[in-house]
C-alpha cells in the first residue's frame, strides 16, 4: 500500500507540541513523517538521529523530549491508528474495485471467478495473492 499522503491534525499537533523548540518540532516532524512512510521507526539511536536530522550533541540534548511522544520501543499510537485506518480504506477500495470488475465482466485477469475450495491456491486460480484475499473477503461478506 502506497502512503503518498498523511492525515495531519494541526490543532492536535500544535496543542501537544507548544513546549517544543523549533529544533525539536522539526525533528519530531521528520520522525513522524518517516514513521508514516515506513510503518514505524528503527530502534537504533544512530538511525533515529539521522531521521531527525540531528548530530550527536543535538540528539543528546533533545532525545528525551522527542521520545516522550513515543512508546519505549518508538511506536506512536496516533500514527498506528491512522495507518490502520488507511490500510482498511485501501483494502475496502481494492475490494470494491474487484467487486465492480466481477459484476461488469465476471472475470479477473481473464479467468472466471468461483469460490475456491480450501485447497486451491491463488496460483492455481490464476490470480495474484492480493486479488485472492480480496475476493475471499468479498465472498464472506453478506450482500445487501
Query: What is the pLDDT, as a whole number, of residue 17?
Result: 95
Q: In the chain, where are the structural domains located?
A: 10-75, 90-140
Query: What is the pLDDT, as a whole number, of residue 140?
Result: 66
DSSP sequence for 109-136: TTEE--PPPTT--TTTTT--HHHHHHHH
Query: What is the pLDDT, as a whole number, of residue 126?
Result: 58
Model confidence pLDDT, tens digit, residues 52-69: 999 999 999 999 999 999
| pLDDT higher than threshold 70 for residue 85 | yes
Model confidence pLDDT, tens digit, residues 91-114: 676 667 777 777 776 665 555 555
Amino acid at each position: 500500500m502506497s502512503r503518498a499522503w498523511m492525515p495531519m491534525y494541526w490543532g492536535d499537533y500544535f496543542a501537544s507540541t507548544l513546549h517544543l523548540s523549533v529544533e525539536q518540532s522539526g525533528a519530531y516532524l521528520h520522525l513522524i513523517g518517516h514513521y508514516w512512510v515506513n510503518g514505524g521507526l528503527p530502534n537504533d539511536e544512530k538511525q533515529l538521529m539521522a531521521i531527525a536530522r540531528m548530530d550527536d550533541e543535538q540528539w543528546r540534548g533533545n532525545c528525551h523530549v522527542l521520545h516522550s511522544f513515543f512508546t519505549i520501543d518508538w511506536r506512536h499510537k496516533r500514527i498506528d491508528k491512522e495507518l490502520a485506518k488507511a490500510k482498511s480504506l485501501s483494502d475496502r477500495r481494492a475490494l470494491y474495485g474487484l467487486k465492480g470488475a466481477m459484476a461488469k465482466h465476471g472475470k479477473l485477469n481473464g479467468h472466471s471467478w468461483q469460490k475456491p475450495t480450501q485447497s486451491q491456491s491463488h496460483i492455481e486460480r490464476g490470480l495474484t495473492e492480493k486479488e485472492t484475499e480480496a475476493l475471499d473477503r468479498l465472498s464472506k461478506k453478506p450482500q445487501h
